A and B are shown apart, each in its own frame.
Chain A
Amino acid sequence: MSNPSFTLSPPVTPAATPAPAAPAAVARPAGGIDLLLVVGLLAVAAAMVRAVWFTPIEAMQGAAQKIFYVHVPSAVVALYLGLPLVAIASGVYLWLKDDRLDRLAESAAEVSLVFMTAVLVTGPIWGKPIWGTWWTWDARLTLTLFLWFVVVGYLVLRGAIDDRAQRARYSAVLGLLAVLLVPFIHLSVYMFRTLHPMPVVLKPSAPSLPPEMTHTLLFAFAAFTLLFVALLRARLRYANERELVALAEEAGQ
């Protein structure tokens, strides 16, 4: 009754299945001090010092105008650098399905959120002395507020999904839909504003800024961009590190 052709053991080598090494896509980050981040922080500090002590006070708005050296660069960095990065990384992810793009999108979203929060906090601080009220439904500030909601939702969604591929796909879809949403929110805000008379607004970006102010603003732009890049890099490192830990845990199961 013995059947020589039948043995279960030979091909069964579960232990021999090689535990895959960490994918090359996940580079192990180096330890130590993040020099770029230090430089970025110093640059922003220098820009602030220059703005407060070495730039003339604006004649009409007084000292309150100084907040623009934080507000405007933060807004530009978040809205024109960070969020487009999220959108592009999301779109390309759906195409290439490369995990690195997902981590880039996540990191860019989180760093952008920091700068957007700075915009939303500094806006009303400036608005109170100038407009006489903390919050007006200024078009750009309102748009920033709604995008802030979208980005928070994006990050909460990521936190609520365990499966890596699913999380990446869902957040990429949300990232792309958010791009389509921006012009519509813009139009809605504009439509809303036309029905609600605004307080007389001093044009903050009047073309005739004295050269010292222009230089300080440009310096601040550069410093905030540098800080953004440094934070993004640090956040990406963290994402990579976390990925390594997760992969190690899954492989150990």
Chain B
Amino acid sequence: MTAPSVLATALLVARKDLLIEFRTRSAFLAAVVFALVAVVIFRFSSDPTAVNPLDLAPGVLWTIFVFSGILGLHRSFGVEQADRAIDALLAAPVPREAIFVGKLLANFAFVACVQLVAIPAVALFYDLPIGGGILAGIFAIAALAAVGLVAVGTLFSAMTVNTRLAELLLPMLALPFFVPVVTPAALATARLLAGRPLAEVGGMLKLLGSFDLVFLVACTLAFPYTLED
């Protein structure tokens, strides 16, 4: 009887989290509905004759991206905390980092699924030009942005879940960390929508990529410190 490897454990935890999410569907539906409502409200909060939807779309897209992501992240460690299932996880002969990576994978899948609905919704309601690989480009930016968002958000979810004000504290702590995610993602999206070549957004994608890398490593290493010991 040998303990499963880090990757196997991570996949196991991720599968379990997604199964729970699939069974309850509560957070996913809430996040999707939130995203759709927000898309519509943003459009109705500006003068349609004065504001070009193309100018509005990138900001709306990435603001909603961040907020709907946070909605799902809070639940990530909430399910572990409810009956202290986290204790059983930690008692098992698996590395703490593997548990974090598993949570991270599940949260990434969650955010990705919400975006699969939200991005086409923005494209539809804001009448975006989606041809010529623009939509694919936006999805690629979203994938890059989601990694960093999920890395930081998963760690902060672990940190805030057993504090008072957990639901308020998570966005309060996490949002300043998402500035380097939202800014390059929105700027890159704006350029793509303006029909500029992909090469022009290279710097922004690099910023996103390096944020992902740095915070993936840092948050994974920091996770064991957030556990009781």
Contacts and interface: CB of A to CB of B under 8 A. Distances in A.
Nearest to B182: A188
Given A173-B226, A191-B183, A192-B183, A184 B211 contact: yes
Q: Looking at chain B's contact residues, is the secondary structure mostly helix, strand, loop, or mixed?
A: helix
Contacts of A181: 176-177, 180
B159 A157 contact: yes
Q: Looking at chain A's contact residues, is the secondary structure mostly helix, strand, loop, or mixed?
A: helix
A108 interface: no
Interface residues of B, number: 31
A161 B161 CA distance: 11
Contacts of B40: none
B173 A153 contact: yes
B217 to A, nearest CB: 10
A191 B183 CA distance: 8
Contacts of B225: 94, 169, 172-173
Which of A169, A176, A184 gathers the greatest number of chain B CB atoms within 10 Å?
A184
A120 interface: no
A176 B222 contact: yes
A89 to B, nearest CB: 15
B23 interface: no
B144 interface: no
A146 B176 contact: yes
Given A153-B173, A156-B172, A173-B226, A185 B184 contact: no
B163 interface: yes
A191 to B, nearest CB: 6
Which of B152, B163, B218 gathers the greatest number of chain A CB atoms within 10 Å?
B163
B207 A187 contact: yes
Interface string B201-229: 00110010011001100110010011010
A150 B152 CA distance: 14
A192 B122 CA distance: 23
Contacts of B136: none
A40 to B, nearest CB: 30
Which of A146, A166, A177 gathers the greatest number of chain B CB atoms within 10 Å?
A177
A191 B207 contact: yes
30 contacts: A94-B225, A146-B176, A149-B175, A149-B176, A150-B176, A156-B172, A157-B173, A160-B160, A161-B163, A166-B228, A169-B225, A170-B159, A173-B155, A173-B159, A173-B225, A177-B215, A177-B218, A177-B219, A180-B215, A181-B176, A181-B177, A184-B180, A184-B211, A185-B176, A185-B179, A188-B179, A188-B180, A188-B183, A191-B187, A195-B187
Interface of A: 94, 146, 149-150, 152-153, 156-157, 160-161, 166, 169-170, 172-174, 176-177, 180-181, 184-185, 187-189, 191-192, 195
The 3 closest A-B pairs by CB, nearest first: A184-B180, A188-B183, A160-B163
